[in-house]
Amino acid sequence: MILTTCIATPTHHPDPPKQPPQIHPPSTFSPPNNPNKNQTLSLKHKPNSNQTVSWTSSISHHCKNNNFLKAASEFIQMLEAEVEPNHITLITLLSACAHSPSKTSITFGAALHTHAFKHGFAMNDVMVGTALIDMYAKCGKLDYARLVFDQMGVRNLVSWNTMIDGYMKNGDVDDALKLFDKLPVKNVVSWTVVIGGFVKKECYEEALECFREMQLAGVVPDFVTVIAIISACANLGALGLGLWVHRLVMKKEFRDNVKVLNSLIDMYARCGCIELARQVFDGMSQRNLVSWNSIIVGFAVNGLADKALSFFRSMKKEGLEPNGVSYTSALTACSHAGLIDEGLKIFADIKRDHRNSPRIEHYGCLVDLYSRAGRLKEAWDVIKKMPMMPNEVVLGSLLAACRTQGDVELAEKVMKYQVELYPGGDSNYVLFSNIYAAVGKWDGASKVRREMKERGLQKNLAFSSIEIDSGIHKFVSGDKYHEENDYIYSALELLSFELHLYGYVPDFSGKESDVDD
């Protein structure tokens, strides 16, 4: 498999130990009726299948109720009663450790590994071995996961996929691909693990390339694969490929899968095709809250505030109670349309809703609502009175409005406040510099730039992208290296000429501030 990964240099992994970690369960797991007795995971072989099933059933009940400590304590009591656990007992406990990764769960999971190793489960039982790999991977212990994988006497496809998935979810893309290439037979899960991992790492082009290879290999995607690919298309704005995936969906048994259709709504909305998103929404036989939130967000980000709010009200009439995302979508619509009163009413509704309380994103929407309307003092008051610490995104929203309004004094207050809250933060410095430049205060802009240099900060290059024949082309400002460079700039000159004919006057304020001193 030939893929360009988004990791510049692979993470070095030391050679894993040859024996499982010798860690004993902490005193937390001592059974309450004998807290002072030394606990070990030793076992006297006195098999009793009925007792094993009974103990395992009780342990499973505690695990399903998320009572991990009780399940672990009961396992130790099971050993004290000289009842032999079977592979299901171990798998149940290992799954519980994987479900809630923590220092406590990894300690107990390692003790289970010791037991499984001593009694042959780790190497000879493929299900126990796979559960150990999953537990270590989800707890971030990739070396131990790979140790188990390498020592397994028998592996199946699930074992391979679990190890590859562990690498991908822990950001070790290089080792994941190396193992993937060694996989004798790749099924849909194998491909989906890699594709989904790329999407989560925001390596969307690599995800699409992997999907193309999957198609060439003749492996049929399932709905999980499709959702990951639709997400990649949405983030890249790859409408052509998104349309092709939609046609693929219509031919499959999951054509009515709500999760797939929700992903299509989001993809079309983010690609600017809100009418296609609406068609998908209207054609759904079943809708959930995510469906409604997706279409409301779609209308909001495409500037159709009235439609977004209309669907928000329709959702409530259908009997679906809004959640935090629903309220954020409605507030975003109000912000983009300048509907101050409507936005304040929705924010008041959040405060009255006993199931929801305003979160930082809702306060951020409120700040943006005031900022876009030019009511900067009220936006600043919201930030100062927030019950939680504002993040740099919220502060950046007000700073952007300060630039638009030319309010340098407030911008200085906001930036000073940000430095107090996040002394090591590096956001909004470029924006702050451009605020000075926009009003011609070049000394202030230069001072901010010098401070950025002293702190080792650099402006991240923004880029634009366009899809042509299902291929993604990226551009940065002043790019001269594209193979079609001459044609591109000729087209831009023509577009610029036509814009001038319609009265467009470019705004070069702040341009000089982007040049290093």
Residue 148 belongs to domain with CATH number: 1.25.40.10
Query: Does 144 lie in the same domain as 80?
Result: yes
Distance CA 48, CA 68 (A): 25
Query: Does 173 lie in the same domain as 218?
Result: no
Query: Does 232 lie in the same domain as 138?
Result: no
Query: Does 248 lie in the same domain as 170?
Result: no
Task: Please report whether residue 98 resides in a domain.
Answer: yes
- Phi/psi of residue 465, nearest 5 degrees: -140, 155
- Phi/psi of residue 11, nearest 5 degrees: -70, 135
Q: What is the pLDDT of residues 436-493, one digit of tens each?
A: 887 788 888 888 788 777 766 666 666 677 766 666 777 776 677 777 778 788 888 8
Q: How many CB atoms lie within 10 A of CB 463?
A: 10
Task: Please report whether residue 22 resides in a domain.
Answer: no
Q: Where is the domain boundary, 164, 180, 196?
A: 180
| Burial zone of 435 (CB within 10 Å; 0-12 exposed, 13-18 middle, 19+ buried) | buried
Q: Look up the CATH number of the domain holding residue 221.
A: 1.25.40
Query: Does 149 lie in the same domain as 67?
Result: yes
Q: Where is the domain boundary, 258, 286, 314?
A: 286
Determine which helix (DSSP H) or strand (DSSP E) holds 463, and give its type and residue range.
strand 463-468
Task: Please report whether residue 262 resides in a domain.
Answer: yes
Q: What is the pTM of this model?
A: 0.75
- Tens place of pLDDT per residue across the chain (517 aa): 444 444 333 333 444 445 555 444 333 333 333 333 333 344 444 445 788 899 999 999 999 988 888 998 999 999 888 888 889 999 999 999 998 888 888 899 999 998 888 888 888 899 999 999 999 999 999 999 999 999 998 899 999 999 999 999 999 999 999 999 999 899 999 999 999 999 999 999 999 999 999 999 999 999 999 999 999 999 998 899 999 999 999 988 888 999 999 999 999 999 999 999 999 999 999 999 999 999 999 999 898 999 999 999 999 999 999 999 999 999 999 998 889 999 999 999 998 887 778 999 999 999 999 999 999 999 999 999 999 999 988 998 998 899 888 888 998 898 888 888 877 666 777 778 878 887 788 888 888 788 777 766 666 666 677 766 666 777 776 677 777 778 788 888 888 888 888 888 776 554 544 444 4
What letter would DSSP give residue 468?
A: E
Task: Please report whether residue 278 resides in a domain.
Answer: yes
Query: Does 122 lie in the same domain as 170?
Result: yes
Determine which helix (DSSP H) or strand (DSSP E) holds 476, and give its type and residue range.
strand 471-476
Query: Does 143 lie in the same domain as 93?
Result: yes
Task: Please report whether residue 147 resides in a domain.
Answer: yes
Query: Does 148 lie in the same domain as 60?
Result: yes
Question: Using alpha carbons only, what angle is made at residue 426 by residues 422 and 428, rounded to the nearest 5 degrees?
Answer: 100
Number of domains in the chain: 2
| Residues spanned by the domain of 226 | 186-286
At which residue do the structure tokens 């042959």 appear?
120
| Burial zone of 1 (CB within 10 Å; 0-12 exposed, 13-18 middle, 19+ buried) | middle
Q: Where is the domain boundary, 252, 271, 286?
A: 286
Task: Please report whether residue 444 resides in a domain.
Answer: no
Task: Please report whether residue 72 resides in a domain.
Answer: yes
Query: Does 191 lie in the same domain as 121?
Result: no
Task: Please report whether residue 200 resides in a domain.
Answer: yes
DSSP alpha helix (H) spans, 223-288? 223-236, 239-250, 258-270, 274-282
Distance CA 101, CA 94 (A): 11
- Phi/psi of residue 15, nearest 5 degrees: -60, 130
Distance CA 80, CA 75 (A): 9
Query: Does 176 lie in the same domain as 139?
Result: yes
Query: Does 176 lie in the same domain as 62?
Result: yes
Query: Does 125 lie in the same domain as 143?
Result: yes
Distance CA 458, CA 421 (A): 21
CA-nearest of 205, 189, 135 to 474 is 205
Q: With contact defined as beta carbons under 8 Å apart, do 192 and 228 qualify?
A: yes
- Phi/psi of residue 464, nearest 5 degrees: -110, 155
